[in-house]
Amino acid sequence: MKNNHSVNILLTVLFVFLALAALFPVIYILSLSLQTEQEAIRFPPALIPESLYLGNFSAVLDLIPIGRLFINSLIFSLSSTLLVIFTSLTGAYAVVKIQPPGHRFFSILFLSIVLIPPAVRTIPLYTMLSTMKLTDTWAGLTLPVAATGFGLFFIQQYLLTIPDSMLEAARIEGAGEIRILASIVTPMAAPAVSTLFLFNFLFRWNEYLWPLVITRKKWTTLPVGVSIFKTSENLVPWNLIAAVSIITLVPVLLIYILFRRRIVEGLAIQASK
């Protein structure tokens, strides 16, 4: 019993160490963003800033169009997520609950797009969209990710748990399919829809390769902007890069702090399928 207790303490120490290693880079970014330039370029580097200097955040506003980048990221993430929710609900509902002739084929089609890794689509999409003159436009950036295999699959799995008898009752009362989807199924699927919202939003907000390839200047998103900011001139001091990084991370950290439990549940659901 006593032996067991000391094992638990030892394992706790191990996990706290791992946790700190996981947090370290984030804490370091935060610390750098609050240092003055003299502090940031000094060696040895300091983990704790001398004073909480907020000047970096206003300084980056003058250097790069951070507001524009933030709004681009927000428009891209939000609009693609809302479209994914719409296409996943309509597509999955039709296949699972209406089952018109050919629904098996559509179901296989949905599953087959799950199997295409997103990054593999990048150059084919670019080839097509550049001939259509859709590079650096909202449509070119967003529509290719407006229906996703993940979204369709996730909602499909949830709809399978809703008993048909509930829908039959509404059908007997004369409700049309589109009304049943809008006023009965969608509210019932709210937990799955909100999990899908969180995952899709985070995924788009964090995405790097796709916006890097398809945007030029007008629709550049924050992650691409940060990397360009870093690589364009080697002389950009790290306290400024850190400030842009923190601005990029704020929505991500907020979502994680508020909805961590839901995110973990969502990951577990994917693994159990």
Partner 1 sequence: MRNTTRRYINGYILLIPTLILIVTFYLLPFIIALINSLHTGMPGHYELNGLWNYADVFTSSRFWNSLWVTTRFTAVSSIILFFLGFILAETLVRRKIYFKTFSSASILLPYIITPAVAILIWQYMFHTDAGILNHLLGLIGMEPIGWLRRPDSAMRSLIAVQCWFTLGYIIVLFASGLQAIPASYYEAAAMDGAGYWRCSRSISVPLVLPTVVFVLIMLLLAGYVNSFTLASLLTGGGPIGSTEVYMLYLYSIAFGNFDIPLSNALTMILFVLMFLFSIGVRSLQKRLFSNLY
Q: Would you say 269 and 59 are in contact if contact means Cβ atoms under 8 Å apart?
A: no
What is the size of the binding site for partner 1 (CB under 8 A)?
A: 97
Phi, psi values for residue 272, rounded to 5°: -85, -5
List the end-to-end C-alpha distance of the chain, in Å, as a whole number: 39
Binds partner 1 by CB under 8 A, chosen from 54, 116, 166, 169: 116
Which of the ranges 26-34, 54-62, 64-72, 158-166 carries the binding residues for partner 1, by CB under 8 A? 26-34
The interface with partner 1 within residues 225-264 (CB under 8 A) comprises: 226-227, 230, 238, 241-242, 245, 248-249, 252, 255-256, 260, 263-264
Could you say whether residue 25 binds partner 1 (CB under 8 A)?
A: yes
Which residue in 199, 170, 174, 190 sits closest to 263, CA to CA?
199
CA separation for the pair 211, 135 (Å, rounded)? 10
Residues 156-185 vs partner 1: string with x where CB under 8 A?
A: ---------------x----xxx--x----
Q: Select 30 or 61, whichever has its Cβ closest to partner 1.
A: 30
Amino acid residing at 111: L
Residue 218 beta carbon to partner 1: minimum distance, rounded to whole angstroms: 18
Query: Are the C-beta atoms of residues 198 and 251 closer than 8 Å to each other?
Result: no
The two three-digit tokens of residue 216, written as one number? 């030029």
Q: Taking CB under 8 A as the criterion, which residues in 48-77 touch partner 1?
A: none
Q: Which stretch binds partner 1 (CB under 8 A): 55-63, 64-72, 90-98, 185-193?
A: 90-98
Decide if residue 121 touches partner 1 (CB under 8 A): yes
Q: What is the Cα–Cα distance from 273 to 213, expressed in whole angstroms?
A: 32
